[in-house]
Amino acid sequence: MMPPSDGLQRSDKAHRPRPSASAEELLVKRLPQSPEAEQAVLCSLMLLPEVCDDVALQVRPDDFLDDANRRIYTHLLNMHEQGNAIDTMLLIQRLRDSGEYEAVGGAPYLAQIASAVATAAHAEYYAKIVREKSTLRALIGASTDILQEAYDPTVEPREALSRAEERVFGILENKGEGQLTNIREVLHDSLARIDARMQDDHAFGGLETGLHDYDDMTGGLHGSELVILAARPSMGKTALALNIIEHVAINLQQPTLFVSLEMSSTELGDRMLCSRAEVNSHRLRNGQLSKEEKRKLIETAAVMSTAPLFIDDTPSRTMTEIAASARRLKRRDGLALVAIDYLQLIDPDNPRDPRQEQVAKIARRLKGLARELEVPVLCLAQLNRQTEASRDNRPQLSNLRESGAIEQDADVVMFIHREEYYRSTEEERAQVRGEADLLVRKQRNGPVGDVKLTWLHEFTRFTNRAPEQYDEFASYAGSTPDAGGF
């Protein structure tokens, strides 16, 4: 609870001031500001218009607290962008034409600005002061909203906490200082990465997935990239995602966050144990495990228990909550990969928006999360029914369900296709049993193509397909004829 402000004395409950009102009065009186710095910025622009570009990278019009200063700064920026000369007389004429001359204080105030500084040499420094004061005011505004919401008995605490974190991080994103990087620095980093890869024949540009052909094609999962893995139900997209997560968290020992909106952590634990130990998951569910299978599960559990894998199985999550979990984990343990199952189950921030717009906003925020955390975000997605209506049942980018924005914002889009699923008779299924294709249909920074995999249904697992196996699937001896996936 905030202490009482100066001049306010504690009284009985009947006369105690409302927290929100006293907070607002206090904050209005003490807003951080520097009228001198704001005037110094404007004076610098009139003295030396060439610094407009440098100043524009530091501050925006809404960073000025004084309304007159904000209007004058906007006009000066517009004059510069339009290629017009900047001086006091031209500014006065522009203000008169727009009807704002008297609103900004007329000749007396413009004369005051014109004499604010003697030189424009420190324009960027003045702009930095203006931006810092604006950042503090934004923080105070966010804190006021957080305080008022915390006092609202109708607000769910979990939602209030998520929105509070979103507000604070939003200030960081909007008020962060832009940075231009010289190509010399970029190339230096590029050559360093190339040299590191050449030191190891098996090194990839990104995070290895354990799928050798996919890693060769894409260089693995790259930081700041949004990777979409899409398929129709029962194709095995969750199984493939778990295989990748398992490789990153267990084999590579890299911190991984898996947000499961569809399956509970208990179900995922069973699935991963059976997959890695290669124990029939159906036998586990029926309690028909042999002593050898139980031993394998115990040994596998001992290995998996040391992995830096974190699972969030809350059934309803917004992008705000997912981002909050990822940020906390990165600050606490580091983070190499975020995986989400699946996109269409993420709750929209505004349920009243049209569904297509909701999905588009979610896709854009997923990409923003990848860039902010500088880690790959692997997000599963559903395909629409048009895939099954096509001639060969092989999915295309146009089959992404509910929004083309998914394709637009993603750096990599890939689909799972198992021909066995679409064969109508047991004889036809036997001819292609175990065959699976990972169809890379978009890669922003590389080629597209098909990756051959092997689907082990009884273990709900995808494995690399050896070249010599490509033409031998007719004799594949799968233990179950069921073509369904997970």
Question: What's the confidence (pLDDT) of residue 419?
Answer: 82
Q: Is residue 483 domain-resident?
A: no
One domain, residues 293 and 335: yes
Q: Left if phi > 0, otherwise alpha if psi is -120 to 50, otherwise beta: which for 402?
A: left
Residue that is last in its domain, among 153, 174, 195? 174
One domain, residues 53 and 132: yes
Q: Residue 136 pLDDT > 50, yes or no?
A: yes
CATH number at residue 244: 3.40.50.300
- List, for residues 430-458, the tens digit of each pLDDT value: 777 878 889 998 898 888 888 899 888 88
Which residue range is the domain that position 369 belongs to?
205-464
CATH number at residue 95: 1.10.860.10
Edge to edge, the sheet with strand 377-382 lists 309-312, 256-260, 337-341, 377-382, 226-231, 412-417, 435-443, 449-456, 461-464
One domain, residues 322 and 427: yes
Question: What's the confidence (pLDDT) of residue 480?
Answer: 40
One domain, residues 102 and 63: yes
Active-site residue (options: 25, 36, 50, 262): 262
Residue bearing the bigger pLDDT, 195 or 22: 195
Q: Which amino acid belongs to residue 80?
A: H
Q: Is residue 181 domain-resident?
A: no
Cα gap 173→373, rounded to integer Å: 12
One domain, residues 139 and 215: no
One domain, residues 214 and 70: no
One domain, residues 240 and 96: no
Cα gap 323→320, rounded to integer Å: 5
Smallest CA-to-CA distance from 130 within 235, 33, 54 is with 33
Q: Is residue 477 domain-resident?
A: no
One domain, residues 156 and 244: no
- List, for residues 261-311, the tens digit of each pLDDT value: 888 888 888 888 888 888 887 777 777 778 888 888 888 888 888 889 898
Residue that is last in its domain, among 174, 197, 229? 174
Confidence of residue 368 (pLDDT cuts 50, 70, 90): confident
262 in active site: yes
- List, for residues 42-60, the tens digit of each pLDDT value: 999 888 888 887 888 788 8
Q: Is residue 197 domain-resident?
A: no
Cα gap 390→407, rounded to integer Å: 19
- List, for residues 201-229, the tens digit of each pLDDT value: 444 568 898 898 898 888 889 988 999 99
Q: Is residue 21 domain-resident?
A: no
Q: How far apart are the first and last CA of the chain?
A: 51
One domain, residues 298 and 413: yes
| Sole residue written with tokens 């190509």 | 183
Cα gap 164→147, rounded to integer Å: 9
pTM assigned to the model: 0.65
Q: Is residue 440 domain-resident?
A: yes
Give the chain's domain count: 2
One domain, residues 358 and 425: yes
- Tell me the residue ranges of DSSP E strands in 325-448: 337-341, 377-382, 412-417, 435-443
Q: Is residue 188 domain-resident?
A: no
Question: What's the confidence (pLDDT) of residue 272?
Answer: 86
Q: Is residue 140 domain-resident?
A: yes
One domain, residues 322 and 368: yes
One domain, residues 144 and 34: yes
CB 44 within 8 A of CB 130: no
258 in helix, strand or coil?
A: strand
